[in-house]
Structure 1
Amino acid sequence: MTQTTEFDLKSFVASLPLLPGVYRMLDSQGQVLYVGKAGQLKKRVASYFQKKNISPRISLMVSHIARIEVTVTRSEAEALLLENNLIKTLKPRYNILFRDDKSYPYIVLTGHGFPRLAYYRGATGKQHQYFGPYPNSHAAKESIQLLQKIFRIRTCEDSTFSNRARPCLLHQIHRCTAPCVGLISQQNYAIDVRNANLLLQGKQSEVEGLLRQGMEQAAEAQHYEQAAALRDQLHALHTVQQKQFMESGRATDADIVAVAELNGVLCLNLAMVRGGRHLGDKSFFPQNAEGQAADEVLHAFLAQHYLNHSVPPLILTSTPLAANALEELLGEQVGHKVQIRHSASGERRQWLDMALKNALLTLHQQAGQQAGQLARLEKLREVLALPQLSRIECFDISHTMGEATVASCVVYDNLAMRTAEYRRYNISGITGGDDYAAMRQALFRRYQKLQAGEGKRPDLILIDGGAGQLSVACQVLEQLGLMEIPLMGVAKGVERKPGLEQLLLPQHEKPLQLLPDNPALHLIQQVRDEAHRFAIRGHRAKRGKTRTTSMLEEISGVGERRRRNLLARFGGLQGVYQASLEELAQVEGISLSLAEKIYQQLH
């Protein structure tokens, strides 16, 4: 229901039904200010205009409302789903927002004859077994490494597994039993996979019992090598249990969500327990949460987070919530009962206490980092006489002898590097190695959008380079009519050592050189180094992709099929490069004469 004439609040509220639904509050420009859901639309919308003790934030929002739109739904749970989808799509300025992680990492055991243990992100399917999710990639990858030490399950890609002629390095360092070349039977390999599966489910006592039983049986049958191998697995299992996980007495699947506050800043900590093992935690900082109560922040997180991710049977929260509709909706989504609980005792209370402590620790760490960043930024403002300096964008060019030129742009804003706003530009149509032309192209592509009113205007542009690059930047900004944006070049200086950088300003004839311990220089170095890192990473990826295809394509007699066979057999171009003449000749379709030609071309 959309108001097309002058908005009459009183009659509009009177016309609303006492039914569940979603309301959207818009300003005079048609921008959505806030999205909310209600069990009874009439009562909820009216409450915004009747309460005398509403917060200053809500009072400010109400003062900007030009019209209200509503959508009636069949249930409150359906309203909750629609509300969440609209919040993620519209990102209203007065809604509590959390950064939407596209996916969480899992550990997967594939469904092959010799299953593979692997790190995985994305949608899960029925053909493989998935364990997790893990709060971050480090926790998942560390778990894989530790499981390798115990059960020595393969982690290689299928193409590598199918084309191995001899055991790889992982077998030599006792991280794989080399099923690719038949050094373990499928039956014995399946036992290792079963035990890894049980351990990932949190059934470590069952795994320990099976290993001990197998060791004793092997010893009785005088299979001493097998008994020794099982003994080593038991020892490795004990080491892993001590190193990696905080164990629970029960095989519980639960998430623990706690909110803490420090100096008006809120932090939410999410800890994951799977199979009774505490897998780690992750912290989130909500946007638009100033003055909001902890229960409102928690409810916003649960709705935005779990309506796109897997949901455990139990969610423990640091604050009590009225979440019946959310429980119903999440249960329908995952096909099992979901409980959201606050009261807890024993180990569950310990989990909640630990999540709260981690949230507070993160807040203290962020406060310390921001204080340091603020001191650096204030000093840079003073040095450059730019009192409004907040957003800095820095450019760098990376290539190898003119090959695979890439330009990077990184963004520093609001006292932190903003990785979501980083951009890379693949440079083409220039003479290889012409850094000036590359810088010109990158700057033009970046800032021509400002002429159309798109994008954010920086308060300072840093150019990693000398007077030539800075001159090119001045020309581009003049061409685009953006000369009011301050520019500064960062040259490495004569000795090219950190701390001796020369700062080049268009309006100054002589370069500015700050003392090595100057906080302003430290901020410049931080942003410049990040631009350099980001450019090199993009350049290496582009160069590697180009070389992987071009070097083999340049060899006559090596078509697409033979090239594919070579890459599959040796696991990539590096493996082909390292292969001997005899190994090359063993690849399907590669004769001895062609192998000699390939070897000579690559070397």
Structure 2
Amino acid sequence: MASSTQKNSPVKASVKEKVKSFPQKPGVYRFYDSNSLLYIGKAKNLRKRASSYFTKTIKEYKTAKLIDRVIDADFLITKNETEALLLEQNLIKSNQPRFNILLRDDKTFPYIEINEKHDYPQVLFKRTTKASKDLYGPFTSAKGTRVAISELQNIFKLRTCNDVFFSNRSRPCLQYQIGKCSAPCVGKISQSDYLEDIKNTKKVLKGNFLEIIKDLKSSMKKYSNQQAFEKAGEIKTRIEMLRRIEETQIIFSGGDQTKVLGMAAMEDDVSFVVIDIEKNAFSNIKRYSFKNQLGKSSDDLFEEFLSRLILANPKLKEIISIRENMRSPFFPHIKFTTPAHGNKKKWCEMADRNAREFLGLQLQKANKYLLSIDYLKNNMGLTDDINIVGFDVSGGVGDIQTVSCVYFNEQGPDKSKYRFFRVPNKHAESDISALAYGIEKYSKNNFDISVVLIDGGKTHLNSIKNSIDLEKVKFVSLGKGEKRKYGIENLFYDDHKVEFRKDDSMSKLFLDVRDEAHRFAVKNFRSIKRKNLTKHYLQDIKGVGPKTIDKIYKEFGSIEILAKINVEQFSQECGLSKSICKDIQMKVKDIYN
């Protein structure tokens, strides 16, 4: 049965197996626990790098602690290692995973730095592995970074010299003569005006073009009204330069509320990848898959998904995809872009590449269970579509006990049919009685069930079969095999025993159902234990808070007695409404009766 520890558990073994299926391509891998993203890393070879975490030679304390908590992993492929580094940095900034304290990589990337320690801050080109608030980027190339600095100099005339050079000037340098510096070193510009230029430079680097152009237009109008036409002309030139930068995306394109959409389809399997873009940088990537049961065309599928995406994101401004003819009269406020070149084209290529890879994994997963499905149909007399439900118990006698239920069809897990039950005290005498309670309660959902799989040996199987009667449902159990090693378990059904150590070709589905039930059990057991430490279970009822619970204990001294008194007495003595008293009684009876 499940426990709250994961070390050397089936869950850890299943993650180890999962990373073995990662592609041997560059990209980013992500490790998760039950509640959050733990770690993001990049790799030249995703399979090789991710698998290295699950060897027996891990010596670093931090890495060992990370792997002890990992219960799931996924990946995102990129075109090369450079793109992987960019994506890793941006995902870490957006998600701030617990184990990513620093980007521990010996490769650096170009940034623009504004050094504000000086009274007249300088703009610098800088390579580093660590991002900070004074850095803007990263940029995809050193050349592009230097072009950006040069453009900023043309517009705002900022200094790029070092502090020693600055402090020893008695006359302006060549940069002033060619119009690239305002010569603050010799007092050609006031400190307040220079700092205003620095402020506007930051806005440009953050992509706030509309805001800065609006401010500059206001200043230009003011100088024009004062007949300071030379000054107004300088500002007009700045505005024209800013517009050129914005249009050519030399620095940042300001991609708030922008999504890049990629799609891949084969027969009735479809996958979509959505990349979120913020200020010209990746902030997140999401993947979706579903079955094309109605045999719709690719265009119809794309249009349907597009509509759902827009409706789910009301603030969306732009959708970028390599597919043409995306425009829809139903969404006039959305800008649909089909890029021919540049960064947007690269984003589209990355989205489509990940969609194809994700589709390949889905097809691989579907084929993964073919031998298991054939075995069930040939040996257990099952003829219809196979739907298997796995059960597992967390907790022990005398503690909170919970039952997790996971549902698999021939394609894999169907999480919409997962369920989780807290076991009442009268059914918590043993793991078997808790399992029986969970199976009976789950069966009331009226889902199609072909097979019930429990985690345990033949004794567990016989006890469950004798206590529960489900028509047309086969009961099987998965017990530990020789030396309790993962992958060589024994499958029990009727009077049969199948040893996976002799033939594991049909073991995949059974092991995955058992492991997923265990993972789901551990996740929910931990969650309910945390709640139990800080919150009374009656607080799950609407309208019941700490004061109401305090009042009940003062009047009756115990919660258990509420299961035995009538609602009227309960309501009168505690001064509560009858409807709340009924809800409380139902909850208490579920545990104590």
Give the TM-score normalised by the residue count of structure 2.
0.49
TM, length-normalised to structure 1: 0.48
Which structure is higher in RCO with an 8 Å CA cutoff and minimum separation 6? 2
Looking at CA atoms only, which structure, 1 or 2, has the larger radius of gyration?
Answer: 2
